[in-house]
Amino acid sequence: MHVGNSVHWTKWTVSILVFVILDVTLGVRINKLQVPEVTHIGNPVVLDCDYSWEETKDEGLVVKWYFNEEKIPVYQWIFSYNLLSGILKGRLNLEYSVSQDKNSKHRALHITKPGPDLSGDYTCLVSSFNNEDRRTKSMLVFVPEKNLDLRQQRIDEEILQVLCSAEGVFPKPDMSLLMGSSEVNGSLVTVEERDGLFDIKARANIPALVSPEEFSCELRIPKANYTVRKEAVYYPGAYGTALIFLLKGQ
């Protein structure tokens, strides 16, 4: 009796497994979602949603892309036509095809001119009559500085002021002032947002120098793994002149 029950449960378990396998086979599955973590403003970029689907066993394939928490897709492809809405209007190459397979030809987003407002989460949802699959990844569109300016000026006979500024950066950057290899104590850093971008300034007052000294200003965008540095040598004199001689970046 015990053996019979074991056989009964084994057959039932196998049946369930077969049913689950068939159900997965009949549906869609996202194999890989390719979204660059970081991209440069203005550089065309492709977001690809690679999926598997068996046309002979399923119907009603639809590919949708969502941006952040929006409920309405910013892109939707249903075989012979695609639909756009929201932030991606006018910013996609609708002729782009990622493959020649008619079932996945226009699954990808080819963004021609990404801007910082396109930084965020992208969700690909692939659905059919049988099931659906979705995945989400984030992309950052970073904007480097328009310029990085490092200046020194005499406040009076006793005080030298070091100033550094950068404009039009995204996302929010960090900045530090250095004298030699050490950070200048008491540096004041301010950041202002303007039209979705950030302007940043750093300033510090130090005792007037009697001999040449090297100063550095370092601008960092940690999320983009971006750092740029400007260096200057200050030569004491009647006018407090400085020589800018090196700009480093990565």
Please give the CATH architecture assigned to the domain spanning 148-249. Sandwich (2.60)
Does domain 31-142 fall under CATH 2.60.40.10? My reply is yes
pLDDT at residue number 55: 67
> For the segment 200-213, what is each residue's pLDDT rounded down to a tens digit?
999 999 888 778 88
> For the segment 33-86, what is each residue's pLDDT rounded down to a tens digit?
999 999 999 999 999 999 998 766 667 889 999 999 999 999 999 876 777 788
Beta strands of 128-238 (E only): which ranges? Answer: 132-142, 148-154, 159-169, 174-179, 182-183, 188-194, 197-207, 213-221, 226-234
**Which of the residue ranges 78-87, 136-145, 156-165, 230-239 has the most confident prediction, judged by mean pLDDT?**
136-145
223 pLDDT more than 80: yes
Give the gyration radius of the chain's Cα atoms.
Answer: 29
C-alpha distances in angstroms, 211 versus 18, 54, 124? 83, 76, 61
> Do 216 and 178 contact (CB within 8 A), yes or no?
yes
Mean pLDDT of 181-189: 90
Q: Which amino acid is at 197?
A: L
Mean pLDDT of 100-120: 93
Mean pLDDT of 204-226: 91
Residue 245 tokens read as 């001689």
Helix (H) or strand (E) run with residue 15 in it: helix 2-26
How deeply is 38 buried, as exposed, middle or buried, from its count of CB atoms within 10 A (0-12, 13-18, 19+)?
middle
- CA 90/CA 96 separation, integer angstroms: 14
- CA 65/CA 126 separation, integer angstroms: 9
Mean pLDDT of 183-198: 94
24 pLDDT more than 70: no
136 pLDDT more than 80: yes
- CA 197/CA 117 separation, integer angstroms: 10
pLDDT at residue number 82: 75
Of the two residues 28 and 7, the one the predictor is more confident about is 28
> For the segment 152-182, what is each residue's pLDDT rounded down to a tens digit?
887 877 888 899 999 999 999 999 999 988 8
Where do you find CATH 2.60.40.10 in the chain? 31-142, 148-249
pLDDT at residue number 83: 79
> For the segment 2-11, what is each residue's pLDDT rounded down to a tens digit?
445 544 444 4
pLDDT at residue number 72: 93
Mean pLDDT of the residues in the chain: 84
